[in-house]
């Protein structure tokens, strides 16, 4: 049974073993999360080569050697041979969190598919049963949660902070529920943030202590 968490990786040291398209996808996402990444691989994709040349990625351009996996918080193994992968996994310290691209269940964590609209982060995993299904579900979210959803979540955050300050605790729940009413959502999604803010202020006046 997996335990889902969202982790901060800012400045955490991460090793990626392998330099193919799978390693590239992992590295791009790790960069967005602000991790300090080292890649060890004899071959790198052109995009990874470019990052190394620009000094934006540390690389060790050779095969993994015993001990390479020591000193990192996380290790991602994305090589193309199961025997090599197993040898590398066994060589990593037991306390290190290891992800295995070609056999998720054999590692310590899997990377779920993710979908983001500003502060809204949705993740999906099929326990490796079908990464394609994970992708299909993400595609359905694209349609269900248009890009304006980012503004709606921001509106919710700001309104919630406001009401936590000005409304008595026993009245907050009602107003929080009002924020989620379809009309309010539709208003922000249509681009009328000002109108939504105004409607919120009117509601707030009824509840203010």
Say if residues 16 and 78 touch (Cβ distance below 8 Å).
yes
Which of ligand NAD, ligand PQ2, none has residue 118 at its interface (CB below 5 to 8 Å by kind)? Answer: none
Helix/strand/coil for 97? strand
Q: Is 110 in the site for ligand PQ2 (CB under 6 A)?
A: yes
Q: From the list 127, 174, 181, 192, which residue makes contact with ligand PQ2 (rule: CB under 6 A)?
A: 127
Q: Is 23 in the site for ligand NAD (CB under 6 A)?
A: yes
Q: Which of residues 78-117 bind ligand NAD (CB under 6 A)?
A: 78-80, 84, 101-102
Closer to ligand PQ2 by CB, 106 or 153: give it.
106
Least distance in Å: CB of 38 to ligand PQ2? 18
Q: Is 20 in the site for ligand PQ2 (CB under 6 A)?
A: no
Q: The dihedral of CA 54, 60, 63, 68: what is its sign?
A: negative
**What angle separates helix 182-189 from helix 193-207, to the nearest 10 degrees?**
150
Q: Report which residue's Cβ sits closest to ligand PQ2.
A: 104
Least distance in Å: CB of 61 to ligand NAD? 9
Q: Could you say which DSSP state residue 116 is in?
A: E
Q: Is 31 in the site for ligand PQ2 (CB under 6 A)?
A: no
Q: Which of residues 80-109 bind ligand PQ2 (CB under 6 A)?
A: 99, 101-102, 104
How many Cα atoms are found within 13 Å in the side-chain-facing hemisphere of 157?
A: 9
Q: Could you say which DSSP state residue 106 is in?
A: G
Strand 36-40 vs strand 58-60: parallel, antiparallel, or unpaired?
parallel
Phi, psi at 55, each rounded to 5°: 75, 20
Least distance in Å: CB of 191 to ligand PQ2? 29
d(CA 165, CA 36): 38
Q: Report which residue's Cβ sits closest to ligand NAD.
A: 20
Q: Is 134 in the site for ligand PQ2 (CB under 6 A)?
A: yes
CA proximity to 62, closest of 13, 15, 14, 18: 18
Interface residues toward ligand NAD, by CB under 6 A: 17-23, 40-43, 63-64, 78-80, 84, 101-102, 131
């Amino acid at each position: 049974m997996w335990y889902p968490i969202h982790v901060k990786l800012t400045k955490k040291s991460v090793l990626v073993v392998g330099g193919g398209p799978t390693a590239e996808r992992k590295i791009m996402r790790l960069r967005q999360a602000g991790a300090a990444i080292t890649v060890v691989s004899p071959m790198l994709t052109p995009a990874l080569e470019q990052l190394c040349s620009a000094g934006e990625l540390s690389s060790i351009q050779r095969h993994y050697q015993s001990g390479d996996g020591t000193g990192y918080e996380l290790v991602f193994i994305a090589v193309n041979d199961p025997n090599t992968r197993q040898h590398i996994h066994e060589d990593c310290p037991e306390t290190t969190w290891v992800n295995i691209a070609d056999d998720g269940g054999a590692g310590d964590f899997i990377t779920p598919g993710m979908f983001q609209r500003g502060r809204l982060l949705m993740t999906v995993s099929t326990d490796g049963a079908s990464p394609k299904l994970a992708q299909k579900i993400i595609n359905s979210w694209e349609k269900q949660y248009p890009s304006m959803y980012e503004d709606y979540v921001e509106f919710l955050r700001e309104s919630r902070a406001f009401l936590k300050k000005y409304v008595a605790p026993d009245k907050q729940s009602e107003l929080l529920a009002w924020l989620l009413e379809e009309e309010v959502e539709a208003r922000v999604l249509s681009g009328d943030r000002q109108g939504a803010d105004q409607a919120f202020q009117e509601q707030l006046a009824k509840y203010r202590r």
